[in-house]
Amino acid sequence: RALAPEIDTMEVTGPTGLLGLHGDPVGPSPGIVDHALLGELTHAGIDALVAAAGPGSGSPLVSVELRHLEGALAQAPAGAGALATVDASFLAATVGVPMAPGDERAIRGHAAAVLRALAPWSGGRAYLNFAERVTDTRTMFPAETHRRLSRIRAQVDPDGLLHANHAIDPAA
């Protein structure tokens, strides 16, 4: 608080209060999201991010953020599911709101440029909750976990009747 932020959302709150903390719209709204999981981020990485999305970049994005992961996300709790931890230090997320013809292309292009700038710090992994486009599910899980999920898919749904936004290929 000594830095006098423009918006101060620091407060003790319950789970329902978290919904308003980020300042997202309450109801449905158009948005295009892209992301990358990052390892340790150096000063050069921060400089690359600011150059790609900061002042003077011409960015049409309404939000570019780094979310610190690690902590509890790096420790597998007992009885955890297929993705017990997130093996990354940061999640870089971009958001754009298309309001006019051509906006989608500009937003996707600039999001890609931001993620290219961060590529040296990326492990090439994707996070299921932020993957809004078709994404290779092998980038979402550790290799052995993905093989196990593929075997389960082949046993439980050999005919591919169950559909998901990010389907696990039974042959993978």
- In tens, the pLDDT along 74-119 reads 889 999 989 888 889 999 999 999 999 999 999 999 999 999 999 9
**Which pLDDT value is given to residue 154?**
93
**Which pLDDT value is given to residue 172?**
64
**Which pLDDT value is given to residue 114?**
98
The model's pLDDT over 39-72, given as tens digits with 9 standing for 90+, comes to 999 999 999 999 999 999 999 999 999 999 998 8
pLDDT above 80: residue 24: no
* DSSP-derived pairing of the beta strands 63-68 and 32-38: unpaired
pLDDT above 90: residue 19: no
- To the question of pTM greater than 0.75 for the whole model, the response is yes
pLDDT above 80: residue 23: no
Q: Which amino acid is at 36?
A: A
**Which pLDDT value is given to residue 162?**
87
Return the higher-pLDDT residue of 20 and 145: 145
Contact (Cβ atoms closer than 8 angstroms) between residue 109 and residue 58? no
Percentage of the chain with pLDDT > 70? Answer: 99
**Which pLDDT value is given to residue 63?**
93
Cα 111 to Cα 27, 79, 167: the distances in Å are 24, 36, 24
Mean pLDDT (whole number) for 16-36 = 84
Instruction: Please list, in sequence order, all residues whose beta carbon lies within 8 angstroms of the beta carbon of residue 14, skipping any fewer than 6 positions away.
Output: none
Q: What is the total residue count of the chain?
A: 172
